[in-house]
Chains A and B, each alone.
Chain A
Amino acid sequence: IAGITQAPTSQILAAGRRMTLRCTQDMRHNAMYWYRQDLGLGLRLIHYSNTAGTTGKGEVPDGYSVSRANTDDFPLTLASAVPSQTSVYFCASSEGTGTDTQYFGPGTRLTVL
């Protein structure tokens, strides 16, 4: 059982380019989340999805979009990357929402130059 996988592991991207970070879980969890982690700021929620077909905005959604076409996949897209989006991105999933434990993927380290 893989749990949650993310791709790529790391990426260096020129500013202005479009980038999609992939996240797949095989636990049949209903809820999925995208966080970014920056030194001194901790984990901040970008977008979430409580169930397939629905998405919502977190604390820092600007510049990012998500889709949830099915239960397993939750890609995060940067339409036009900027240097301030340099960060480590974690995808997570939970069986339900709010009170359920979140399980994290290994992360994607993104550098925007």
Chain B
Amino acid sequence: GQNIDQPTEMTATEGAIVQINCTYQTSGFNGLFWYQQHAGEAPTFLSYNVLDGLEEKGRFSSFLSRSKGYSYLLLKELQMKDSASYLCAASDNYGQNFVFGPGTRLSVLP
């Protein structure tokens, strides 16, 4: 099975940098996804890490350490529109499990 943990809530200021952590315990781990979900809307894909290291995509970066069972999502130059829930999800080798963490609700304040 798989177990994923994230902080429940975080608050940051517009223009700042915030790091959202995700730890996972899995069997047959294959890769780690990050999704963004605005209130009342569907989750949308942000990033996918399968190898150790940092993947950068504009203001958003995602890091993975397979040996430590740890990932983080880094958001730079925060904007008000970044206020949302951020979900990490782990996929396994067998293509039949795609497990989401509980999500981190980020509030960006002016």
Mutual binders A and B: yes
In the complex, identify which listed stretch (A13-21, A35-43, A65-73, A75-83) lies at the interface while the others stay far away: A35-43
Q: Are A99 and B42 in contact (CB under 8 A)?
A: no
With contacts A106-B41, A106-B42, A107-B42 taken as known, whether A101 is within 8 angstroms of B96 at the C-beta atoms is no
Counting CB contacts under 8 A, is B87 at the interface? yes
In the complex, identify which listed stretch (B11-19, B73-81, B97-105) lies at the interface while the others stay far away: B97-105
Size band of the interface chain A makes with B? 20 to 34
- We find that the number of chain B residues with CB closer than 8 angstroms to chain A is 25
Counting CB contacts under 8 A, is B92 at the interface? yes
Q: How far is the CA of A43 from the CA of B103 in the complex (A)?
A: 9
Q: How far is the CA of A56 from the CA of B98 in the complex (A)?
A: 13
Of A35, A41, A43, A98, the contact of B94 (CB 8 Å cutoff): A98
With contacts A42-B87, A42-B103 taken as known, whether A98 is within 8 angstroms of B98 at the C-beta atoms is yes
Q: Are B100 and A98 in contact (CB under 8 A)?
A: no
Q: Which of A42, A59, A96 has most chain B Cβ within 10 Å?
A: A42
Q: Chain B residues near A74 (CB, 8 Å)? A: none
Q: How far is the CA of A53 from the CA of B64 in the complex (A)?
A: 35
Q: Are A101 and B45 in contact (CB under 8 A)?
A: yes
Q: Are B30 and A98 in contact (CB under 8 A)?
A: yes
Q: Which of B31, B41, B94, B100 has most chain A Cβ within 10 Å?
A: B100
Q: Chain A residues near B41 (CB, 8 Å)? A: 106-107
Counting CB contacts under 8 A, is B110 at the interface? no
* Contact mask for chain B residues 8-48; partner A; CB cutoff 8 A; 1 contact, 0 none: 00000000000000000000001101000000011111001
Q: Chain B residues near A33 (CB, 8 Å)? A: 98
Q: Are A99 and B87 in contact (CB under 8 A)?
A: no
Q: Are B102 and A41 in contact (CB under 8 A)?
A: yes
CB distance from B100 to the nearest CB of A (A): 4
Of A48, A56, A101, the contact of B48 (CB 8 Å cutoff): A101
Counting CB contacts under 8 A, is A24 at the interface? no
With contacts A42-B87, A43-B87 taken as known, whether A102 is within 8 angstroms of B98 at the C-beta atoms is yes
Residues of chain A having any CB pair with chain B under 8 Å: 31, 33, 35, 40-45, 48, 50, 56, 59, 90, 96-99, 101-107
